[in-house]
Chains A and B, each alone.
Chain A
Amino acid sequence: MSGAVRTSAGRRLGALGRAEIALLGRNRGAVVTALLVPLALPFTVRGAYARLDLKAHGVDAGTAMLTAAIGFSFLFAVYTALVGAYVARREELVLKRLRTGELSDAEILTGTALPAVGLGLAQALVLSAGCALLLHTGPPRAPWLILPGLLSGLVVSAALAAVTASFTRTTESAQVTALPLLLVSMLGSGITIPAAAMPDRMASVCALLPLSPAIRLVEAGWTGRSSGPETLAALATALAWTVVAVFAVRRWFRWEPRR
């Protein structure tokens, strides 16, 4: 048997991701939050959207709701779900045990994130299709912007989940430590208040928030309203947050519980 197959990064990620999918399926609370919240919450903001006179800003209610739904998906299916998963695995000593094997640190964090990221992506695609059919938003005008929007949203959400987990001791306290990003993103990143409805100066500050680039790219993908420089600025902002998050994780991520 010696000299047999060496594992590859892909194989290791697959094995870890598969185990995490089984675990996600057995955590009913996490599944309900991840699946239902992004579907239900947009309806709570519907009334507010009606009063905002979005049409005057060039955004129709259907697109605004879709954008909100995808934003909630980043926040609940990916971000909060992953903060809980990272903390739970660390407290169970799973992360420490995995580090004794051949997986690299990046592979451990990526593999653990795979099911949540996959769920977030699937949800965003289903929501997009559903909204296009049911809310009469029509097909996206600039679909090439949607893919980088979704990818940057998923990557930033997962990376910030690892950062948040670095400062979270228990799965219970994760419900508190995840709040700041949830609130800031919902209010400032164009999820409950569309960026188009904000005063210009506020909108340009809020554009720098972690999930703003993703939301704006997705929205621009549907409305077709985005200039080249705007798109590049959004991508650069998303990249900057990813770099900051990776740095923070390398610096502060805890692989085992405090003793």
Chain B
Amino acid sequence: MDIDGHEQVIEVTGLTRVYGGGFEAVRGIGFSVTRGEIFALLGTNGAGKTSTMELLEGLAAPTRGEIRVLGHDPYRERTAVRSRTGVMLQEGGFPAELTVAETARMWAGCTSGARPAAEVLARVGLGDRHGVRVKQLSGGERRRLDLALALLGDPEVLFLDEPTTGLDAEGRRDTWELVRALRDAGTTVLLTTHYLEEAEGLADRLAILHAGRIAAAGTPAEVTAGRPARMSFQLPEGYHLGDLPPLAALGVRGHEHAGRTVRLRTTDPQRTAAGVLAWAERKGLRLDALDVRSASLEEAFLGIAGHDGGDGPELGQGVAA
């Protein structure tokens, strides 16, 4: 319990994971998750999300540092923890030749206080897929089967490693609804994602991992606070960035110019927008694709991770999706 009487369901201090080859995937991170909270670990591929999750799930022992899940070491005190947690790995892990119903029945036999398989399958929208072999499921359906099995024993703590990867937009929204409903019923949820929108919309608190360290942490509002807002538009033919009024005077902190598209970063979006629009009005110009948005997680994320070239495509995909 902390001072306010909130129960810390997950407590991590000084966590480090070094793989056999010497690669240091997790470099001394610490955070805690309160009961009934959704906590997101956000980061690009290779940031250390899954490495961290595996330690919390008790699949491996940390190289250094301490983990408490429900007051126990999840690796050394496996039996004390496992009946109270539900886990969804990043990638399936179900025999391809079993049917959905057989898989659920098998898992139910191994789970304390398992709910009826049919009920849980219906809850994730697989109610009409009982007789289908796992190998015939789509990627999204496999994710939902995995989620169903993680929920089977009504866990107090749910670990979801990229729960919506491979889902279509509707499936993703359904999963978000389900996770929120679970949180509202008191379940503590720790999830990883590289979808910024998912972390922003779903998480009560989050941590941005970068190269094995926590680069920023807090509520989405706290993490985005102090980050610049963004304005973008297309300049008409024949006009250049230099034709705009002095940008610094409009609160602009940075700009990019690609083709006709101009992107501005600003700490004062109102002044920037007013200045640019007044200029366009004076010149009688029409600015296409006009967009002004306040600071988002994306800005925070790009500020932390975006400068590393290798991470670019993954991030782009995440932002666009």
Name A's B-contacting residues (CB within 8 A): 1-7, 11-12, 14-16, 18-19, 22-23, 26-27, 89, 92-94, 96-104, 255
Contacts and interface: CB of A to CB of B under 8 A. Distances in A.
B12 interface: no
Interface in B53-106: 57-59, 78-79, 82-83, 85, 87, 89, 91-98, 102-103, 105-106
Given A16-B106, A22-B102, A23-B98, A6 B113 contact: yes
Given A19-B106, A102-B83, A6 B112 contact: yes
Contacts of B89: 93, 96-97, 100
Given A27-B97, A93-B93, A1 B102 contact: no
A89 B109 contact: no
Contact of A19 (B82, B96, B98): B98
A92 B105 contact: no
B109 A102 contact: no
Nearest to A15: B109
B280 interface: no
Given A7-B111, A102-B110, A19 B79 contact: no
Nearest to B107: A101
A12 B98 contact: no
Nearest to B90: A93
A2 B59 contact: no
Contacts of B112: 4-7, 102
Given A2-B154, A22-B98, A23-B98, A101 B110 contact: yes
Given A7-B110, A12-B109, A22-B98, A101 B82 contact: yes
B215 interface: no
Contact of A102 (B59, B79, B92, B93): B79
28 contacts: A1-B113, A2-B154, A4-B113, A5-B113, A5-B114, A7-B83, A7-B109, A7-B112, A7-B114, A12-B110, A15-B109, A16-B109, A18-B106, A22-B102, A93-B91, A97-B89, A97-B93, A98-B93, A98-B110, A100-B57, A100-B58, A100-B82, A100-B85, A101-B87, A101-B111, A102-B79, A102-B83, A104-B79
The residue in A4, A12, A94, A100 that gathers the most chain B C-beta atoms within 10 A of its C-beta is: A100
B167 interface: no
B115 interface: yes
Given A19-B102, A27-B97, A96 B110 contact: no
Given A15-B109, A23-B98, A94-B95, 19 more contacts: A1-B115, A4-B112, A5-B112, A5-B113, A15-B108, A15-B110, A18-B105, A18-B106, A19-B106, A22-B102, A23-B97, A89-B95, A93-B91, A94-B93, A94-B94, A97-B92, A100-B58, A100-B82, A102-B110
Contacts of A101: 82, 87, 107, 110-111
Contacts of A5: 112-114
Contacts of A26: 97
B317 to A, nearest CB: 22
B156 to A, nearest CB: 10
Given A1-B154, A102-B83, A92 B113 contact: no
Contacts of B108: 15
A16 B95 contact: no
The residue in B58, B87, B93, B115 that gathers the most chain A C-beta atoms within 10 A of its C-beta is: B93
B56 to A, nearest CB: 11
Contacts of B87: 100-101
A103 B110 contact: yes
Interface string B8-22: 000000000000000
A93 B88 CA distance: 12
Interface string B173-192: 00000000000000000000
